[in-house]
Amino acid sequence: MGGGGLLGDPGDDRPEDDRPDGDGPRTHGRQDVDGPHTHGRPEGVVVDARGLRCPLPVIRLARAARDAVPGAVLTVVSTDPAARHDVPAWARLRGHTVVASREEPDGALAISVRVGTTA
């Protein structure tokens, strides 16, 4: 490895995709949180909570909302049946708005939330 630096240092010659420092390729306004890439979504941030049980889908969504700007749209994808009620309840309590809800081809529920002024 050229540059003689530690992994992720500016002297690291590896392509950005291979660096462990999280400074990989740009996502063009999209960001996946705690899960694999979810394709075909116009939303900015996708929280993949498939396989997680209550309260983890809401906790992961809340974590993403803390870093989001007002007006951003976050989508949580969950296989937990409780998310159908828990996510909208959390959104109301936090001043956010549910803007879409749909079933994914794999049976998971995708709920999109627009972040309000108070995260």
Q: Is residue 119 part of a domain?
A: no
Q: Is residue 3 part of a domain?
A: no
User: Is 54 a known active-site residue?
Assistant: yes
Count the Cβ atoms, other than its own, within 10 Å of residue 100: 13
> Model-level pTM?
0.65
pLDDT digits (tens, 9 = 90+) for 15-41: 444 334 433 333 333 344 444 333 444
- Active-site residue identified among 33, 54, 59, 119: 54
- Ramachandran region, residue 79 (left: φ > 0; alpha: ψ -120 to 50; beta: rest): alpha
Q: Is residue 62 part of a domain?
A: yes
Q: Which domain holds residue 74?
A: 25-114
Q: Is residue 60 part of a domain?
A: yes
Q: Is residue 81 part of a domain?
A: yes
Give residue 44's pLDDT. Answer: 82
Give residue 19's pLDDT. Answer: 35
Residues of the chain with pLDDT under 50: 1-42, 119
Q: What is the DSSP string of 42-90?
A: -SSEEEEETTPPTTHHHHHHHHHHHTSPTT-EEEEEE--TTHHHHHHHH
Tally of structural domains, the chain: 1
CATH code of the domain covering residue 93:
3.30.110.40
